[in-house]
Structure 1
Amino acid sequence: MVTVGIIIYPDIQALDLAGALDCFGQANQELLAAGKQPYYRHYIVGLTTAPLCAENGLQLTAQYSLDTCPRLDYLIIPGGAGARKLTVNQDFMHWLCLRSVDTDKVLSICTGAYLLAHSGLVNGLPLATHWRFAADLQTRYPKVQVNATELYVKSGKFYSSGGMTAGIDLCLAVIEQDLGVAIAQAVARELVMYLRRSGDQSQYASPLKIQHSGEQRFIQLQQWLLVNLTKPLTVADMAEQVALSERQFRRVFRDRFAMAPVQYLQQLRLDKARSLLLCDGYNLRRICNEVGIKDPRSLIRLFNAAFGCTPGEYKQHFC
Structure 2
Amino acid sequence: MPAMHIVAVLAFDGVIPFDLATPIEVFTRTCLPGGSPGYEVRVCAERPHVDAGAFTLTAPWGLDTLAEAHTVVVPGTADPAAALTPPVRAALRTAAANGTRIASICAGSFVLAAAGLLDGLRATTHWIAAGSLAAAHPSVDVDPGVLYVDNGQILTSAGAAAGLDLCLHMIRRDYGSAVAAAAARLSVVPLEREGGQAQFIAHDHPPTPQGAELEPLLTWLQQHLRHDLTLADIAAQAGMSTRTLIRRFRDQTGLTPLQWLHRARVRRAQHLLETTRHSVERIGAEVGFGSPTAFRERFKRTTGVSPQTYRHSFS
With the length of structure 2 as denominator, give the TM-score of the two structures.
0.67
1:26 is aligned, of 24, 29, 40, to: 29
User: What is the aligned partner in structure 1 of residue 251 from structure 2?
Assistant: 270
CA distance in 2, matches of 1:80, 1:171: 18
2:51 is aligned, of 53, 65, 72, to: 53
Alpha carbons 1:185, 1:196 under 8 Å: kept:
no
CA distance in 2, matches of 1:203, 1:147: 10
Indicate whether 1:180 and 2:176 are aligned.
Answer: yes
2:88 is aligned, of 65, 86, 92, to: 92
CA distance in 1, matches of 2:70, 2:236: 44
CA deviations on 1:139-189 (whole Å, 9 max, x unpaired) are: 110000111110111112111001022101110111111222222222222
Indicate whether 1:3 and 2:6 are aligned.
Answer: yes
CA distance in 1, matches of 2:158, 2:228: 35
CA distance in 2, matches of 1:68, 1:155: 23
Q: 1:265 to 1:3 in 2, by over 3 A?
A: same
Q: What RMSD, in angstroms, separates the aligned Cα atoms of the two structures?
A: 2.9
Q: Where does structure 1 lack aligned partners over 5 or more consecutive residues?
A: 219-241, 274-319
User: What is the aligned partner in structure 2 of residue 166 from structure 1?
Assistant: 162
How many residues of Structure 1 are paired with residues of Structure 2 in the alignment? 240
Structure 1 counterpart of 2:249, which letter? L
Q: 1:213 to 1:158 in 2, by over 3 A?
A: farther
* Secondary structure of the structure 2 residue equivalent to 1:120: coil
How do residues 233-312 of structure 1 correspond to structure 2 at under 5 angstroms? 244=228, 246=230, 250-251=232-233, 262-271=243-252
Structure 2 counterpart of 1:264, which letter? L
Structure 2 counterpart of 1:62, which letter? A
CA distance in 2, matches of 1:94, 1:101: 10
The offset of 1:129, in angstroms, is 0.4
CA distance in 2, matches of 1:85, 1:130: 17
Alpha carbons 1:113, 1:129 under 8 Å: kept:
yes
Structure 2 counterpart of 1:18, which letter? A
* Secondary structure of the structure 2 residue equivalent to 1:64: coil
How do residues 142-157 of structure 1 correspond to structure 2 at under 5 angstroms? 142-157=138-153
Structure 2 counterpart of 1:71, which letter? E
The offset of 1:245, in angstroms, is 6.8
CA distance in 2, matches of 1:258, 1:44: 49
* Secondary structure of the structure 2 residue equivalent to 1:80: coil
Alpha carbons 1:72, 1:103 under 8 Å: kept:
no
CA distance in 2, matches of 1:216, 1:177: 26
1:76 is aligned, of 73, 78, 83, to: 73
CA distance in 1, matches of 2:25, 2:81: 25
CA distance in 1, matches of 2:248, 2:234: 18
Alpha carbons 2:66, 2:95 under 8 Å: kept:
no
The offset of 1:7, in angstroms, is 0.1
The offset of 1:75, in angstroms, is 0.6
User: What is the aligned partner in structure 2 of residue 39 from structure 1?
Assistant: 38
Once the two structures are overlaid, the 10-residue window that deviates more, 258-267 or 89-98, is 258-267
The offset of 1:206, in angstroms, is 5.5
Q: 1:70 to 1:92 in 2, by over 3 A?
A: closer
* Secondary structure of the structure 2 residue equivalent to 1:99: helix
The offset of 1:101, in angstroms, is 1.5
CA deviations on 1:62-114 (whole Å, 9 max, x unpaired) are: 12111455511101000012443242x12211211111122441101110011
Alpha carbons 2:11, 2:43 under 8 Å: kept:
yes
* Secondary structure of the structure 1 residue equivalent to 2:92: helix
Alpha carbons 1:124, 1:145 under 8 Å: kept:
yes
Structure 1 counterpart of 2:26, which letter? C
**In percent, how many aligned pairs have the same letter?**
29
With the length of structure 1 as denominator, give the TM-score of the two structures.
0.66
* Secondary structure of the structure 2 residue equivalent to 1:76: strand
Q: Where does structure 2 lack aligned partners over 5 or more consecutive residues?
A: 201-208, 255-315
Structure 1 counterpart of 2:42, which letter? Y
* Secondary structure of the structure 1 residue equivalent to 2:29: helix
